[in-house]
Structure 1
Amino acid sequence: MSTDIQTIRKLAHLARLEFDLTKEQEMLQDLNKILDWMEKLRELDTSQVEPLLHMSEEVNVLRPDEPKIIITHEEGLKNAPRKDSDYFRVPKVLD
């Protein structure tokens, strides 16, 4: 299977891409290589292969969500450019 320059131009238009003439030719060659590779894959017998649903057999491998204090309130405010006793001071955004 191969494609032509008109297909490349249509795909470029749909993807909002612009190519000069040399880039169009490069893209045409690359797309044809990809399509040829896909044709080779079609030759393989995959009737005995189960469909892949996930890349890994792991299920919900997450750390336990345990609350803990990493830094103190004072340490959090220590490097603030402006602070007011217990809070960060920031410029007013809304009236």
Structure 2
Amino acid sequence: MSEKSALTSAEVAHLADLARIAMSEEELARTAGDLSSILANVARVAEVATDEVPATSHPIPLSNVMREDVVGETLTNEQALSGAPQSEDAKFLVPQILGED
């Protein structure tokens, strides 16, 4: 990163003032260095991001690993109800919980 594009402590102090953040001189100097490093890395990425380099959201291509949804043998109504404690009208009979009729 060139000296022209490096942030100064004065610029960071101005940004901190706009954001209403109180910072000491030491914090301003450290933050200026950190932000300059971040800007340098963003500039480096911007250099590589050209039309020849496709944008990616994942480093490895994703593929659907789920099996096909195939209809298989199912239980008959009688088989399904055979293990139920109670049934009525070919349905499971459960205790009423809401007090409604």
After TM superposition, the score normalised by the length of structure 2 is 0.46
After TM superposition, the score normalised by the length of structure 1 is 0.48
**Bigger radius of gyration, 1 or 2?**
2
**Higher relative contact order (Cα pairs below 8 Å, separated by 6+ residues):** 1
